[in-house]
Amino acid sequence: MSKRIDVGDLNVYYGSFLAVEGVSMAIEARSVTAFIGPSGCGKSTFIRTLNRMHEVIPGARVEGKVMLDGEDLYGANVDPVTVRRQVGMVFQRPNPFPTMSIRDNVLAGMKLNSNRLRKSEADDIVERSLKGANLWNEVKDRLDKPGSGLSGGQQQRLCIARAIAVQPEVLLMDEPCSALDPISTLAIEDLIGELKQNYTIVIVTHNMQQAARVSDRTAFFNIAGTGKPGKLIEMDDTTKIFTNPSVKATEDYVSGRFG
Amino acid sequence: MTTTAKPPPTERPTATPRAKARPGDRIFSRSAQVAGILILIILAGVAAFLVREALPTFSADPSEIDGGEGFFSYVWPLVFGTLAAAVIALIVATPLALGIALFISHYAPRRLAQGLGYIVDLLAAIPSVVFGLWGIQWLAPQVQPAWSWLADNLGFIPLFTGPASATGRTMMTAGLVLAVMILPIITAISREVFLQTPTLHEEAALALGATRWEMIRVAVIPFGRPGIISGIMLGLGRALGETMAVAMVLSTGGFTWSMVTSGNNTIAAEIALDFPESSGLKTNTLIAAGLVLFAITLAVNMFARWIVSRRSEFSGAN
Amino acid sequence: MSVATKPPATPAAPSSLAHNQLPRYTTQVVLVLSIAAGAGLSALFGGFSPVSFAVLSVLVFGVVNTTLAGIVEGRRKAVDKLVTTFVYTAFGIALVPLISVIWSVLDNGAERFSIDFLTTSMRNVTGLNDQQALEGAAPFIGGAYHAILGTFLITGLATIISVPIGLLTSIYLVEYGRGRLARSITFFVDVMTGIPSIVAGLFAAALFAVLFGVGTRNGFAGAVALSVLMIPVVVRSSEEMLRIVPNELREAAYALGVPKWRTIVRVVVPTAISGIASGVTLAIARVVGETAPLIVTAGFTSSINSDPFSDWMMSLPAYVYSQAMRPLSGSSPEPSFDRAWAAALTLILIVMLLNLVARLIARLFAPKTGR
């Protein structure tokens, strides 16, 4: 499991509007890469191109290459549905399926695709995924209760369990803690630390302390002004970005002078 | 929101042109599309069959049409009757409906309001044939004295020329029944827009020392005006097309200005009363009359939608 | 905003806040006095009657309350009170037809409403039976079983036609619809909502006349007519329900690698199903009482007909209509009227039951929060 991602000169458009311009980067396997930057700089837009989720927005398109262990995600005949099975995603707000129980939510990736599972197999996946998301002890007695009855932090960990249940290579997290309280945030951050043993993790965050705490490498995105495209300014080891960045704008941003 | 160009949340995902179409996706989206197209076909069918069946009316010899003077002179009294009944219904129902809507939105205690709204909605759930039965057996005898009084005292106005019908089965009664039937429509729509009035506007008016009525006049009514108008229009559309109440309540007859005697008829009621026993050219004539009714209600409904859409463009809330 | 910017001239006395105010109990006192005055006046003018009592009481209350406020509190307060009186009165008036309709249906309908009424048809029931029954020589006979059966068959068929078309169309509009086709479908669904029910009936009648010969009347033609009325209602309500399914759920499913059509079938529709089901139930409740289209398509009969594809078929609304308008016996119509009321009661019970079911569905199948 876990593959590396190489992005080559990627442009993202919404219709004719260029939202993100010329991004090239390498994302290492089994590491945590954080994207930081001011609002509207294109971090979320960019992360959604890594599993072709941007395509669900009408008019969104991409130029350039995204290689998953050498395979181009945007090659001809590549099915976005297959891409998304390998590159999972956790969203800003927890979004468990309200019609399903906790157990069914974890199994959603298989069940929605009508893969037949033996009960013991399904039980294994549920237990393994929930344990992987540090949620097992809290919900093991109420697996048949609806997922929307959990607290916000638990719901988000349920969503992570759901994402890792299909055993993706990469896990994308788009501001996974922005709707959570500090305690739940801490739980998720601990979880990210454990998950990187097995997965390549990319996380978008507004919280610079969080990026400093959880990530190995950090990419700083910035935007020249409204209506201009967002760009990757600098990408380096997290310690370097936060202590000794090579670009002035990065230093201004991480030291709180703007943004 | 970290992206500059995230579209508004109402946007829905579409399949991208580049995505390889899976068979499941293709079959499903195609059948959904076919269902939509089927609706267009049904509607085209409605128009085509009605026009086809109506055409003989216009090519036939005028003397063969009911009344012996051609389709136009056959249909205009019916159009008059249709409009008259609907106008009476609107005149009665509009002020009442606005009053009820205001009562529910701004006067009734909050805990009561929802239940009251439900009670008024109940009126809308009662089948029209029940209103017809009620109109002919309960309402007509009750209101007959009022029409007699109108005929006796205001008989010099053509609308109230006597002698009043002794059974009470008049245009006025039919209009009253229609008023009861459209009351919930106008009420429901006005109530919705009244409840949507921005609290800020209301509080701004109250903070300037306005009484409750002044607050309603400067904040609630102007905000809700397009909604009120479209509610009235939808009620009018319903009143024009409503069949059973008129067919049962009204004692039909030839054209007369008087609304308190028997006589007159509406298009819808004429069709309901005559179609089951009609044959030949008479059937064609009735269908042509149905087309006229369809055209009138269509115009009214379109006007209502146009007002609503103009408002939504104005508020920018799409 | 001339109303609000000019406060009434008040003397600068320290107690100015309480100045020119009527005591709080004024309204109640005036109300009680008005009711008394209304009763008195009503008795004075041509004998007491509930109508004149109510009208006079309201009039007296409106005049006294407004004048009092006008004298003591000023014109603005007087207008405010007048409008308040009007608003309360309007609501009171609206209750009159509602209560009277329901009361007359219950009161008149109970007369003949019985198991017997629900399980027998009108076959071989004639005016003679009614006359004998009125004279006490024979029992009242004749029921609405054939009409109830017809209503269920016709409405059921209409539902079978309308729900798949309506639901799929709403899915198309919400999930796939783009451009000209979607816009024109939306527009024509709007047009369809405005079709008068009698015109829908004429369409079905004309269609069947062309296809199967002039004068063809059967239950299926009635179902087609009802479908024309039902489809737009189903489309509208399902569309609304599908639109409020949060986009995040769709994204969550896509991110798990679920194809779009499975996402719609397994996530979007189940999330909205309670709203869709209750919308469909309300649509059924709406068409179950439709009379006019059935009169011109399904016709009348006094016998049981369980085959909607041939021969005339009675329905409850048509039964009410025919019993009320064409009594079996012209000289003694009361038994027929009683049957009409009993059928109206049956119809209202069905409609109310459907409304109740819709609310139950909405509550029971709503996505659970589990807290």
What pLDDT score was predicted for residue A217?
93
- Average pLDDT for chain C: 85
Q: Do strands A5-14 and A17-27 pair parallel, antiparallel, or not at all (unpaired)?
A: antiparallel
pTM for this structure? Answer: 0.84
* Residue C350 domain flag: yes
Please tell me the distance from the alpha carbon of residue C360 to that of residue C120, in angstroms, as a whole number. 31
User: Could you give the angle at the alpha carbon of A83 between the alpha carbons of A79 and A89, nearest 5°?
Assistant: 140
Closest residue to A43, CB basis, from B2, B12, B20:
B2
Q: In this structure, what DSSP letter does residue A55 have? A: G
Please tell me the distance from the alpha carbon of residue A62 to that of residue A18, in angstroms, as a whole number. 10
* Residue C130 domain flag: no
Q: Are B50 and C203 in contact (CB under 8 A)?
A: yes
Q: At what angle do helices B70-102 and C75-110 cross, to 10 degrees?
A: 110
Give the lowest-confidence range in B176-185, C124-133, C152-161. C124-133
What pLDDT score was predicted for residue A129?
92
What pLDDT score was predicted for residue B7?
40
Residues 6+ apart with CB under 8 A from C365: C273, C274, C277
Please tell me the distance from the alpha carbon of residue B221 to that of residue B190, in angstroms, as a whole number. 10
- Average pLDDT for chain B: 83
Choose among C206, C192, C230: nearest CA to C296.
C206
Please tell me the distance from the alpha carbon of residue B272 to that of residue B265, in angstroms, as a whole number. 11
Q: Does pLDDT of B90 surpass 90? A: yes
The one-letter amino acid at B80: F
Confidence of residue B318 (pLDDT cuts 50, 70, 90): very low
C371–A114 CB contact, under 8 Å:
no
A259 in contact with chain B, both atoms CB, cutoff 8 A: no
What pLDDT score was predicted for residue C10?
47
Q: Does pLDDT of C133 surpass 70? A: yes
Q: Does pLDDT of B160 surpass 70? A: yes
Chain-centre distance for alpha carbon B240: 6
Chain-centre distance for alpha carbon B232: 8
Q: Are residues C100 and C162 in the same domain?
A: no
CA-based radius of gyration for chain C: 29
Model confidence pLDDT, tens digit, residues C270-297? 889 888 988 898 899 889 989 899 988 8
Q: Are C17 and C90 in contact (CB under 8 A)?
A: no
Q: Which of A109-118, B89-98, C90-99, C273-282 has the highest mean pLDDT?
A: B89-98
Q: Under CATH, to which class is B77-315 assigned?
A: mainly alpha
What pLDDT score was predicted for residue B91?
94
Higher-pLDDT residue of B141, C25: B141
A27 in contact with chain B, both atoms CB, cutoff 8 A: no
C273 min Cα distance to partner chain A (Å): 10
Closest residue to C347, CB basis, from B46, B127, B286:
B127
Closest residue to B96, CB basis, from C80, C90, C290:
C90
Residue A3, helix vs strand vs coil: coil
| Interface contacts (B, C; CB < 8 Å) | 299
A221 min Cα distance to partner chain C (Å): 24
Residue owning tokens 């089965």: B169
Model confidence pLDDT, tens digit, residues C106-127? 999 888 888 888 888 888 888 8
- Average of pLDDT values for B193-200? 86
Model confidence pLDDT, tens digit, residues B173-182? 999 999 999 9
CA-based nearest residue in chain A for residue C176:
A58
Residues 6+ apart with CB under 8 A from C188: B39, B40, B43
Give the lowest-confidence range in A50-64, B269-283, C33-47, C335-349. C33-47
In this structure, what is the dihedral angle of CA atoms B230, B236, B239, B241, given to the nearest 10 degrees? -90
Burial of B318 (0-12, 13-18, 19+ CB in 10 A): exposed
Closest residue to B3, CB basis, from A40, A77, A206:
A40
* Residue C12 domain flag: no
Q: In this structure, what DSSP letter does residue A30 have? A: T
In this structure, what is the dihedral angle of CA atoms C215, C218, C222, C227, given to the nearest 10 degrees? -110
Q: Are B102 and B186 in contact (CB under 8 A)?
A: no
User: Could you give the angle at the alpha carbon of B95 between the alpha carbons of B90 and B101, nearest 5°?
Assistant: 115
Choose among C227, C207, C162: nearest CA to B46.
C207
Among residues C110, C127, C154, the one where a domain terminates is C110
Q: Are residues C198 and C264 in the same domain?
A: yes
* Pick among B6, B22, B46, B119 to test the C interface (most C CBs inside 10 A): B46
Q: Does pLDDT of B52 surpass 70? A: yes
CATH number at residue C260: 1.10.3720.10
Give the lowest-confidence range in A204-208, C24-28, C229-233. C24-28
Q: Are residues C244 and C296 in the same domain?
A: yes
* Pick among C45, C52, C91 to test the B interface (most B CBs inside 10 A): C91
Q: Does pLDDT of B163 surpass 90? A: no
C264–B205 CB contact, under 8 Å:
no
* Residue C137 domain flag: no
What pLDDT score was predicted for residue B14?
38
Q: Does pLDDT of C332 surpass 90? A: no
Q: Which of residues 236-275 of B touch C (CB under 8 A)?
A: 237, 240-244, 247-248, 268, 271-272, 275
C295 min Cα distance to partner chain B (Å): 7
The residues that bridge with C38 in the sheet, in sequence order, are: none
Residue C183: how many other CB atoms lie within 10 Å: 12
C181 min Cα distance to partner chain A (Å): 17
Domain count, chain C: 2
* Residue C268 domain flag: yes
Domain boundaries, chain A: 5-101+170-254
- Average of pLDDT values for C335-361? 90
Confidence of residue C15 (pLDDT cuts 50, 70, 90): low
User: Which positions in chain A touch C368 (Cβ < 8 Å)?
Assistant: 98, 146, 148-149
Q: Are A101 and A146 in contact (CB under 8 A)?
A: yes
Model confidence pLDDT, tens digit, residues B4-42? 443 444 333 433 444 456 788 889 999 999 999 999 998
C102 in contact with chain A, both atoms CB, cutoff 8 A: no
Among residues C83, C110, C137, the one where a domain terminates is C110
User: Which positions in chain B touch A55 (Cβ < 8 Å)?
Assistant: 13, 16, 18-19
Sign of the dihedral through C-alpha A237, A242, A244, A246? positive
B318 min Cα distance to partner chain A (Å): 17
B40 in contact with chain A, both atoms CB, cutoff 8 A: no
What pLDDT score was predicted for residue A1?
60
Q: Does pLDDT of C216 surpass 90? A: no
Range of the domain at C265: 145-364
B220 in contact with chain C, both atoms CB, cutoff 8 A: no
Tokens of B289: 């009359």
A108–C249 CB contact, under 8 Å:
no
B13–C260 CB contact, under 8 Å:
yes
B9 in contact with chain A, both atoms CB, cutoff 8 A: no
B214 in contact with chain C, both atoms CB, cutoff 8 A: yes
B138 in contact with chain C, both atoms CB, cutoff 8 A: yes
Q: Which chains touch B (3 or more CB pairs under 8 A)?
A: A, C
Confidence of residue C369 (pLDDT cuts 50, 70, 90): low
Residue owning tokens 């009855």: A149
* Residue C13 domain flag: no
Q: Are residues C207 and C264 in the same domain?
A: yes
Q: Are residues C338 and C252 in the same domain?
A: yes
Model confidence pLDDT, tens digit, residues A121-139? 999 999 999 988 889 999 9
Choose among B181, B143, B180: nearest CA to B165.
B143
Q: B6-16 burial by CB neighbour count: b if 16+ within 10 A, else e?
A: beeeeebbbbb
Q: Are residues C49 and C163 in the same domain?
A: no
Model confidence pLDDT, tens digit, residues B228-268? 888 898 889 889 988 888 888 888 888 888 888 888 889 99
Please tell me the distance from the alpha carbon of residue B99 to that of residue C95, in angstroms, as a whole number. 13
C270 in contact with chain A, both atoms CB, cutoff 8 A: yes
Q: Under CATH, to which class is A5-101+170-254 assigned?
A: alpha beta
* Pick among A48, A111, A112 to test the C interface (most C CBs inside 10 A): A112
Q: What is the pLDDT along chain A (259 residues), one digit of tens a residue?
A: 678 999 999 999 998 899 999 999 999 999 999 999 888 888 889 999 998 988 888 888 899 999 998 889 988 888 888 889 889 999 988 889 988 899 999 999 888 887 778 889 999 999 999 988 889 999 999 999 988 889 888 999 999 999 999 889 899 999 998 888 888 888 889 989 988 898 999 999 988 889 999 999 999 999 888 888 999 999 999 999 999 899 988 988 888 876 5
B3–A45 CB contact, under 8 Å:
yes
What pLDDT score was predicted for residue B21?
62
* Residue C369 domain flag: no
Q: Are residues C101 and C201 in the same domain?
A: no
C113 in contact with chain B, both atoms CB, cutoff 8 A: no
Chain-centre distance for alpha carbon C310: 31
Q: Does pLDDT of C334 surpass 90? A: no
Q: At what angle do helices C145-171 and C219-243 cross, to 10 degrees?
A: 40
Domain boundaries, chain B: 77-315
C325 in contact with chain A, both atoms CB, cutoff 8 A: no
